[in-house]
């Protein structure tokens, strides 16, 4: 998965959603404390019972009111504009909350480039310049009337600016990136060895890191680069998927990494038992565990289907390699390797998947539920040999585009 842009990096540090710290209660004076203690010793039981009942009722009222406080609109939030009308807009955060906001003429509206850190260079815009799909950082006016969510400041990153930056980053990762499975990690020297490719195109890549290298780790159940968190080299483990970007040597077997992102993912091969279009999920019977797994298909998932002939050639090529034979130039496919064949396969949508067909996929970790990163259909010939299927899965890059670039070297 190509790392997307982080539009508001460095502009503001977001709060954790709890903008209402608990109030601090004052201490009880020693004299009053002793007086209360003595009164508790001598007060009749029915008075104690009444006191306890009052305390219980007070706590019930407090707890009943807690959700109301938690449901209040936060003082600032980041999300995507989903609706515009009149002088209001609705912003949906990445966590799924939607907040309607009134935008008075006194509100400050600014436009910045993705990743821009200095608001002093931001461009002043009008409400009419906003569009659905734009990313927005909204800061509410604390002086607005009670119950009214009015914007004090809105900082915008235009959707087309994000798309352009992502495209440039995607191209840069394809030109200067490598990827594969972690074979070994030497934290002392900063060297990470990867295995990449499959069949005759399999190779070993050494990733050299330094104190200047940006090391990140994907968040659980996520392949979003903007959700990845800084992590030390010790967090990288054998078997992880890893991508690195930097200066490569001539044959692409070594790279001085400027940026590294890694994560633990699950490889699954099996047949589709059922599909739920409304939830964008499918149930796959894992051939390795013999158990069903619910696979969530997000809009970011990369899905392709191998043509019948390509699947047969690929299966034969992997079987020859795993069997110790020499991988020759099979008819009609003299050039290219398995990674190239996958990259050239037609892209598909959820509606193109069918019950009973075989798929292989790389997904987030999970026992019964996972989220697909890449999925390949039309792989029945590959599943005839578990070894061939596993060879392909274990070397399937998180970024098929970059895989094509690596294979082209």
CATH (domain of 114): 2.40.50.320
Average pLDDT (180-189) is 94
Residues near 333 by beta carbon (within 8 Å), at least 6 away in sequence: 310, 313, 341
Output the pLDDT for position 363: 87
In a domain, 44, yes or no: no
In a domain, 235, yes or no: yes
CA torsion sign, 11 to 17 to 23 to 24? negative
HSE value, Cβ hemisphere, 13 Å, CA-based, for 227: 11
Output the pLDDT for position 339: 67
User: What does each C-alpha distance from 332 to 275, 312, 388, 409 come to in angstroms?
Assistant: 35, 12, 20, 21
Which residues face 80 on adjacent strands?
92, 135
Share of the chain above pLDDT 90, in %: 41
Domain tally for the chain? Answer: 3
In a domain, 21, yes or no: no
Is 60 exceeded by the pLDDT of residue 324?
A: no
| CA dist., res. 336 & res. 328, Å (int) | 11
Judgement on whether residues 142 and 177 belong to the same structural domain of the protein: no
Q: Which has the closest alpha carbon to 294: 404, 393, 384, 369? A: 369
In a domain, 131, yes or no: yes
Judgement on whether residues 277 and 375 belong to the same structural domain of the protein: yes
Q: Which has the closest alpha carbon to 228: 196, 260, 181? A: 260
Output the pLDDT for position 117: 79
In a domain, 234, yes or no: yes
Which residues face 364 on adjacent strands?
265
The mean pLDDT value of the chain amounts to 76
Judgement on whether residues 209 and 100 belong to the same structural domain of the protein: no
| CA dist., res. 214 & res. 234, Å (int) | 14
Boundary of a domain, candidates 122, 149, 164: 164
Say if residues 169 and 177 touch (Cβ distance below 8 Å). no
Say if residues 105 and 142 touch (Cβ distance below 8 Å). no
Range of the domain at 81: 76-164
User: What does each C-alpha distance from 367 to 6, 7, 64, 246, 291 come to in angstroms?
Assistant: 30, 33, 36, 35, 9
Secondary structure class of 245 (helix, strand, coil):
strand
Boundary of a domain, candidates 211, 236, 263: 263
More confident call, 164 vs 318: 164
Chain-centroid distance, C-alpha 23: 36
Confidence of residue 192 (pLDDT cuts 50, 70, 90): very high
Output the pLDDT for position 349: 94
Judgement on whether residues 277 and 400 belong to the same structural domain of the protein: yes
Output the pLDDT for position 249: 94
In a domain, 54, yes or no: no
Output the pLDDT for position 323: 54
Output the pLDDT for position 321: 58
Q: Point out the least confidently predicted range of 36-50, 122-136, 147-161.
A: 36-50
Judgement on whether residues 236 and 271 belong to the same structural domain of the protein: no
In a domain, 3, yes or no: no
Judgement on whether residues 139 and 239 belong to the same structural domain of the protein: no
In a domain, 224, yes or no: yes
| CA dist., res. 193 & res. 214, Å (int) | 17
Judgement on whether residues 83 and 97 belong to the same structural domain of the protein: yes
């Amino acid at each position: 998965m190509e790392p997307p842009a982080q539009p508001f990096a460095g502009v503001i540090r977001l709060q954790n959603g709890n903008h209402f710290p608990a109030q601090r209660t004052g201490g009880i004076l020693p004299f009053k404390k002793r007086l209360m203690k003595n009164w508790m010793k001598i007060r009749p039981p029915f008075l104690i019972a009444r006191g306890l009942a009052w305390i219980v009722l007070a706590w019930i009222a407090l707890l009943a009111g807690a959700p109301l406080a938690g449901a209040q609109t936060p003082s600032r939030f980041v999300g995507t504009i989903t609706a515009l009308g009149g002088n209001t807009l609705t912003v949906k955060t990445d966590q799924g909350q939607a907040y309607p906001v009134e935008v008075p003429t006194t509100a400050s509206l600014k436009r910045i480039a993705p990743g821009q850190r200095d608001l002093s260079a931001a461009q002043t815009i009008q409400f009419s310049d906003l569009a659905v799909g734009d990313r927005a950082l909204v800061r509410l006016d604390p002086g607005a009337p009670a119950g009214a969510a009015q914007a004090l400041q809105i900082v915008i990153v235009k959707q087309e600016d994000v798309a352009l930056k992502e495209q440039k980053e995607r191209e840069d990762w394809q030109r200067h990136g490598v990827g594969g499975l972690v074979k070994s990690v030497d934290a002392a020297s900063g060297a990470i060895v990867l295995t990449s490719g499959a069949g005759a195109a399999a190779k070993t890549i050494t990733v050299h890191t330094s104190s200047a290298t940006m090391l990140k780790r994907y968040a659980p159940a996520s392949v979003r680069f903007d959700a990845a968190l800084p992590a030390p080299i010790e967090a990288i483990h054998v078997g992880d998927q890893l991508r690195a970007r930097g200066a490569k040597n001539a044959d692409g077997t070594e790279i001085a990494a400027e940026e590294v992102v890694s994560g633990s993912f699950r490889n699954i091969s099996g047949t589709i038992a059922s599909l739920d279009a409304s939830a964008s999920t499918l149930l796959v019977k894992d051939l390795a565990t013999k158990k069903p797994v619910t696979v969530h298909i997000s809009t970011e998932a990369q899905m392709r289907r191998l043509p019948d002939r390509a699947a047969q050639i690929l299966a034969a090529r992997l079987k020859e390699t795993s069997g110790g034979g020499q991988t020759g130039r099979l008819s009609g496919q003299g050039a290219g390797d398995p990674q190239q064949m996958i990259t050239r396969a037609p892209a598909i949508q959820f509606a193109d998947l069918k019950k009973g067909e075989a798929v292989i996929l790389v997904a987030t970790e999970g026992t019964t539920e996972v989220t697909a990163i890449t999925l390949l259909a039309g792989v029945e010939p590959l599943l005839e040999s578990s070894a061939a299927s596993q060879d392909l899965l274990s070397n399937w890059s998180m970024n098929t585009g970059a895989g094509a670039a690596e294979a082209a070297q």
